[in-house]
Structure 1
Amino acid sequence: MIVGQTIEETLPQELAKYGSDVEVTDSQEMRDSLFVDVSQALQMDTPGLFLAPRGGPFSYMDISLQGSRTQDMLFLVDGVRINNRLYSSTMTDTLPGSMTERVEVLKGGQSLFYGTQAAAGVINIVTRGYTDDFNGQLTVSGDTNDSIHYDGYARGKAGPGNYVVYASQDKSNGIATYTTIQPSATDQRRSYDLSNVGVKYRLEVLDNLSVDARYTHTDARLDYPGVRVTAYSKNERDEDVASVGIDYKMTDWAQLLVKGYWHDWDSAYTTINNVVQPGTGRITGQTVIDNETYWGYEDKGINALAKLTPHKGFEYVVGYDYQTYSGKDDVLLIEEQTEEVNAVFGQVRTTEDLIQNGAFAAGVRYNDTGGVSTTVWNVSGRYDFTSWLYAQGIIGTSFLLPTAEQLYVIQEPSALGNPDLEPETSENLNLSLGTNWQPTSGSAFQLQATYFDR
């Protein structure tokens, strides 16, 4: 049994109670389906979501949720944002599928709690949870693409707290990524070597006070062959994600979580192209385009979230977010920049004491980024007409801060950033009518129809 969940970890389930459409893929389903990474689980198990990895496992991907763009989706690992704010792309290899307790997909605009890049929804990857009983797992697998995978984890109770440790490695000597490729490309197969280690520890200081520390490290060596002239192309990455949270239940009706987080990504990019003789197509030499050229970013901040139920009929969730982000890309010529974000938000929710068969909520968020402010809101709800028929929906606004590429890229004459760009804003609506019907004991039938507009 999972223990020690914070109000941040249970937030997606609570938002589902108040009308957000949430899809969940748990660890057992991922194991039974032999998913290598999270992107495979999302690709196969989430209605309304389109996902296409560009080069097989552990690669960049194009993703669309209910018709959205890739940059409209926010990715989190245990509540820590892992999106690349340098430009509109993302990867899901920060954590392999075997280390995942569940993957939660929240559909519709979710900027109220999650801020920028949640215009179409949020994908939250939850790592293996804490347990009091010792348990673990070891896995070795391979495939016909000359790939091999190792992973293992252990968890249990140690002293006054609980721990989880995990590690994995994925390696392939080369897989074909294109069905058609030009003879000028001599690097025609994509190899990868990715290792991941992590540790979590939760210390119960008092009955109503706990401290939770988490750390994940990823080393990756990833090939990116092209369809023409590529002789060698590799991205080498060192990535760290860490957080420390304090969970304090002040009274029976007040709970507070304060968490600091840090996400650091450092990459060295190397590209060598073949030189082709015009007319003959003969390769006459090679030219170095990038030689361990640096690109990377650092994202760190503090989140505070409080849940208050001082009286019957309503409960309140309030919070504060502080984020400082800095990044640099010598490949795309993005100069080093730093951005600070401050935000406050709040939501009012009904409880069963006020409405028996329904749950409704309304909230607002104020976001300030270097003097540029944005205010967003949403209203959501769910009503159960019977034990098997329900309606739910969410309406509101969201925002998307410009990327560093959009603001500061210098690639004359083809591209030049605009530092005066303001945040994008969006209006969104999701409405659903569904049924959970159990005709006999042990059987179930689920059907949901959704209308969305953004």
Structure 2
Amino acid sequence: MIRPTALTLLLGLSTALSAAPERLQVLGQSLDQQLMSQAELGSSLIMIDAEQIASAGAVDINAILNQFVPGLFAQGKAGRYDGAYYALQGSRAKDILWLVDGNRINNRLYGSTYLDSINPMVIARIEVLKGGQGLVHGSDAIAGVVNIVTREPSADAGGQLQLTYDTLNSLGIGFSTGAQIGDVELLLFGSHDRSDGYELYRDEDVHWTAADHQQRGYHVNNVGAKLAYRPTNTQRLSLLAQHNQAELERTRPYGTLASHNRREQTLLTADWQVQLSAATALQTKAYYHQWDSFYFRLDQDDNGDLTLWDNDSFWGFKDHGIKLLASHQQADSTQWLAGLERQYFSGADEVMEFHSDNEAASAAFVQLQPRKLNNRLATSFGLRYDRLDDGEDQWTGSIGLHTPLLESQSTDLALRANLGTSYRLPTAEELHAVAKFGVIGNRDLRPEQGQNLNLGLEYQGSVYWQVELYWRRVEDLIGTVAIDDNLYQYQNLDGEIDSYGIDLSSRFDLSPRLSAELRGAWGQSETQGRQLDGVPQWTAQTRLHYRGERFELWWDQQGNGAFTDYGREAPSHWLTHLGASLWLDPLQQHRLLLRIENLFDQRGVQSIFNPGGTAPPDRRDPIDVLGAPRLAQLQYHYRF
């Protein structure tokens, strides 16, 4: 439930702003675009377009996010196609909602996500919306939303082929092509990625009972299609289907001879939009997300005896739902945005021995966007109601404000503010865990509650800069409480998480062809007087980019502060990357790209590995997991 203090403040501000009435609706803009345009109503939006993604030369979405989003920490725990540390403005990973074309892909089994389900070649843009976004998007959007938008089908878009190879014996092959069958436009795409990986641990941390091979390799295949059909000028149907198959090694430095995951993932989405009139638009979105993973682990003890812990043990989930959206603009330019939503989720884990039947939730929300006051001040306020089939009611609210402070033909200075509440539903593990690993679930858990305030200044002129201050509190935390000598249970705790900090970014030209970008963030996120695990206090990125007629050069430097996990500290470190690309022909069909990652071969600590209770007592201390060594990556790109 919304806390009384937050609700009082929301109602008070809405009353004060209710006289603010002219928001212009862009006809033909999809409702999804309007939802992510909350930046015009007070939220901070960072946009990474396809050109930036291509020029970066990165094939890893985490690397792309790290380069371009201030305040976002995205670091794979053991390289590509593995779990990762994520923190947005000092948040936990579970406080970020991940979307594909506006459809959630968060792993509701454990509250995390894997971004390897998306082929970078079909990404049109990535939208990062900061601050609590629970009003429109529901559970998990406590710190913000990352929306990966795929390219639109078009027969005129042609096709592209991409080949990538690096010095870790990694090979990537990807393609996409447009086509048309009658009135239906198609986008077909696919990719194959494999790698031998690199050594994750120091030699002295690897015990003789572990496998000699401590490189984490992978084989991943992706195939999919997207189609668009316009039966009339006012209707549009879009369908997306993609399937992933993966074989992922899982190395352990003690007692494990072989361990791997075999994984399959299917994502289906449908989107139907209709413009009923110049003032009213409707949209229906539906999605189906299935994740099946099979875990194998063979161990060896100090006596040389073998134990088969798991032989393709299953863990996975199904998540599907439908959302109805409506947008209406009044004659005075006041706009209403409303939605209804129904979600279903089920999951199971044979490793942890629990099973979740269907969890279901319904929701309704409405947002009022009054007409602008003096054609300058844009405001919004709204409420959301969620009803959990086997739980309590949930209310969420938000208020936004955006106004220019200085406007001219060459400069623009604007102020924005976002105040809201948000929530996170319990995961299947928190609800249904059994005592095998000493922790049991709790069907009576309440959702975690979040409150946030974000304030930002944005200046656009000869130099672009942006400053954002944020504060966030998360209460009713779900954690473990001892109920017996050797048994814990998930319960709502009395404590809270308080986060506050600042994000900074700037872009400017040093010459007509040379540009510079500077980004930095500092924040404090504490619970019980200590910084959250896996969350550094600062991150920073710098980038120099030179654009010639047919070639580009760039220099990137990325750093993050120290963070702790399992009681062990990963020290702060900086990494430097260089890149160059060259179009081989005047028509710009053939391009070569060379990228050198970790130029100075800094083997910093990338994550912390916890051996767990299956290791003997003298081998249970957490161990450093090292980042990738220096590598050179060569990429060939062909447009046809």
> For the superposition of Structure 1 and Structure 2, which TM-score range results when normalised by the shorter chain?
over 0.9
Q: Which structure's CA Rg is the greater one?
A: 2
Residue 6 (structure 1) aligned with residue 30 (structure 2): yes
SS at match of 1:190: coil
Secondary structure in structure 2 of the residue aligned to 1:174: coil
- The number of residue pairs the alignment matches comes to 438
Letter in 1 for 2:313: T
- Alignment partners' CA distance in 1, 2:439 and 2:214: 29
1:125 aligned residue: 148
Partner of 2:4: none
Q: Could you say what secondary structure the match of 1:189 adopts?
A: coil
List 4+ stretches of structure 1 deviating above 4 A. Answer: none
Structure 1 equivalent of residue 533 of structure 2: none
Deviation by residue 1:81-135 (Cα, 9 ceiling, x = unmatched): 1111111322111102222111111100001111000000111111122335232
For residues 252-279 of structure 1, what are the alpha-carbon distances to aligned partners after superposition, in whole Å with 9 as ceiling and x for unaligned? 10000012210011111111112223xx
Partner of 1:280: none
* Structure 2 partner of 1:257: 283
Alignment match, 1:159: 182
Percent of pairs with identical residues: 32
Which of structures 1 and 2 has the larger relative contact order (alpha carbons within 8 angstroms, sep 6+)? 2
Q: For residue 328 of structure 2, what is the aligned residue in structure 1? A: 308
CA-atom RMSD, angstroms? 1.7
Counterpart of 1:357 in structure 2 is: 376
Larger displacement relative to structure 2 (61-70 or 92-101):
92-101
Measure the CA separation in 1 of the matches of 2:35 and 2:161. 30
* Residue number in structure 2 paired with 1:85: 108
Can you list the C-alpha shifts for 1:129-161, whole angstroms capped at 9, x where unaligned? Answer: 233523221100111111000111112544223
Alignment partner of 1:247 is 2:267: no
Q: Does 1:147 align with 2:187?
A: no
**Pairing 1:271-282 to 2, within 5 Å after superposition:** 271-277=297-303
Structure 1 range deviating more: 38-47 or 125-134: 125-134
- Aligned equivalent of 2:226: 200
Does the 8 Å contact 2:141/2:423 carry over to 1? Answer: yes
1:397 aligns with 2:453: no
Q: Does 1:368 align with 2:387?
A: yes
Structure 1 contact 224–234 (Cα < 8 Å) conserved = yes
2:358 aligned residue (338, 352, 373): 338
State the partner residue of 2:123: 100
- Equivalent-residue separation in structure 2 for 1:425 and 1:335 (angstroms): 26
Pick aligned residue for 1:430 from 440, 447, 454: 454
Return the offset for 1:178.
2.6
Q: Give the whole-Å Cα distance in 2 for the aligned partners of 1:100 and 1:430.
A: 28
Distance 1:21 1:28 in 2: 21
AA in 1 matched with 2:457: L
Residue aligning to 2:243: 217
SS of residue paired to 1:130: coil
Are 1:9 and 1:79, in contact at CA under 8 Å, matched by a contact in 2?
Answer: no
> Does 2:450 correspond to 1:450?
no
Could you tell me how far apart the structure 2 residues matched to 1:32 and 1:62 are?
25
Deviation at 1:412, TM superposition (A): 4.1
Q: Which of these residues, 334, 343, 357, is aligned with residue 323 of structure 1?
A: 343
Give unpaired runs (5+ residues) of structure 1: 278-283, 439-444
User: TM-score normalized by structure 2?
Assistant: 0.67
- Superposed, 1:20-35 pairs within 5 Å as 20-35=43-58
State whether residues 220 and 244 of structure 2, in contact with CA within 8 Å, keep that contact through their aligned partners in structure 1: yes
Aligned-pair CA distance for 1:5:
6.2
The separation in 1 between residues aligned to 2:290 and 2:179, in whole angstroms, is 28
CA contact (8 A) 1:37 1:96 kept: no
Q: Which residue in 2 is equivalent to 1:229?
A: 255
